[in-house]
Copies of this chain bind each other. A is one copy, B any other.
Amino acid sequence: MNPYLNHAKHLVAVDCIIFGYDLPDKELKLLLLKRIFEPARDKWSLAGGFVQADESLDDAACRILRKLTGLDSVYMKQSYCYGDVGRDPGDRVISVAYYALTSIRDIDSDIVMRNGVHWHSVSRLPDLIFDHNAMVKKALSDLQNDIKITPAGFELLPEKFTLVQLEELYKAIYQHDIDRRNFRKKVVALGILEKLEEKETETSKRGAYYYRYNRETIEKLKREGFYFDLEVS
Contacts and interface: CB of A to CB of B under 8 A. Distances in A.
Interface string A74-88: 000010111111000
Contact of A51 (B58, B94, B96): B94
Given A57-B81, A83-B51, A11 B9 contact: yes
A227 to B, nearest CB: 9
B9 A9 contact: yes
Contacts of A149: 145
Interface in A80-104: 80-85, 90-94, 96
A72 interface: no
A36 to B, nearest CB: 9
A96 B57 CA distance: 12
A229 interface: yes
A73 interface: no
A53 B11 contact: no
Contacts of A12: 9-10, 12, 83, 94
A223 to B, nearest CB: 13
Contacts of A54: 85
Interface of A: 1, 3-4, 7-12, 37, 50-58, 60, 78, 80-85, 90-94, 96, 145, 149, 229
Given A9-B9, A60-B83, 20 more contacts: A3-B90, A4-B90, A4-B93, A7-B11, A7-B50, A7-B52, A9-B10, A9-B12, A10-B10, A10-B12, A10-B53, A12-B83, A51-B83, A57-B81, A57-B82, A57-B94, A78-B80, A83-B96, A145-B149, A229-B229
22 contacts: A3-B37, A3-B90, A4-B91, A7-B50, A8-B51, A8-B52, A8-B53, A9-B12, A10-B11, A10-B51, A10-B53, A53-B92, A55-B85, A56-B83, A57-B83, A57-B84, A57-B94, A78-B80, A78-B81, A83-B96, A145-B149, A229-B229
